[in-house]
């Protein structure tokens, strides 16, 4: 469900596009496989933290074949600065083993196949399809969930419902753009605590439900 009309939703995207023309995937990678691993590692961890460990990780294990053969304790040592590193080390090794055994070491470009991989959920699969394969996708992480529902692009209580609502409310050719723009806005302005409504362009243009409520409108 949307609080805004589709015209208003598109207007929100226009404002965000002007604010964040540089909004793209912040995870550093050199291949679709490396993107897949980086996104899997980024769960409940900042992209900045992941980018600190992946150069060493990908230098030693640049592809699925090499990562499948990696020692799990060695993987833990490389990624131990991020959250849930033991579980993530196990997942990326099992993921790589499955890619080698079932997909010839290649990353599948199909949602249903991606979510079969260990440690890969809807968000990770959608990011890989959007960034790695150029599909229009909306990946709902904590920033997208919070900002989209706070602004009024949708009014949902869970991640899946938010993804479905955004797909219905936003132009399909702007889904990936919306994902990145909402993340940037969540990081830079519309934070979980103390959102900067007084300096927000969406508030200025009356394109935010939260700001309107806060102002008593």
Q: Is 141 a catalytic residue?
A: yes
Q: Are 62 and 92 in contact (CB under 8 A)?
A: no
Catalytically annotated residue among 141, 155, 157, 212: 141
Q: Are 190 and 146 in contact (CB under 8 A)?
A: yes
Catalytically annotated residue among 63, 88, 93, 123: 123
> For the purposes of burial, counting CB atoms within 10 Å of the CB of 157, is it exposed (0-12), middle (13-18) or buried (19 or more)?
exposed
What are the residues whose beta carbons fall under 8 Å from the beta carbon of 78, sequence distance 6 or more?
Answer: 53, 56, 57, 60
Q: Is 116 a catalytic residue?
A: no
Indicate the angle between helix axes 72-79 and 47-60, nearest 10 degrees: 140
Neighbours of 139 (CB within 10 A): 26
Q: How far is CA 213 from CA 35, 39, 57, 62, 90, in A?
A: 39, 35, 46, 49, 45
**Which residues have a catalytic role annotated?**
123, 141
């Amino acid at each position: 469900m949307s609080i805004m009309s589709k015209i208003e939703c598109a207007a929100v995207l226009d404002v965000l596009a002007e604010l964040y023309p540089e909004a793209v995937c912040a995870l550093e990678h050199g291949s679709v496989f490396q993107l897949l691993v980086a996104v899997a590692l980024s769960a409940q961890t900042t992209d900045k933290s992941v980018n600190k460990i992946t150069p060493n990780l990908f230098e030693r294990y640049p592809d699925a074949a090499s990562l499948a053969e990696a020692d799990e304790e060695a993987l833990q040592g490389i990624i131990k600065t991020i959250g849930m590193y033991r579980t993530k080390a196990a997942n990326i090794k099992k993921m790589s083993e499955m890619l080698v055994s079932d997909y010839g070491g290649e990353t599948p470009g199909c949602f249903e196949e991606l979510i079969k991989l260990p440690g890969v959920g809807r968000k990770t699969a959608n990011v890989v399809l959007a960034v790695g394969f150029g599909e229009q996708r909306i990946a709902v992480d904590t920033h997208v969930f919070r900002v989209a529902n706070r602004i009024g692009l949708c009014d949902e209580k869970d991640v899946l419902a938010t993804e479905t609502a955004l797909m219905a409310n936003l132009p399909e050719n702007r889904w990936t753009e919306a994902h990145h723009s909402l993340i940037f806005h969540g990081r830079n302005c519309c934070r979980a605590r103390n959102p900067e409504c007084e300096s927000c362009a969406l508030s200025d243009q009356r394109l935010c439900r939260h700001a309107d409520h806060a102002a008593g409108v």
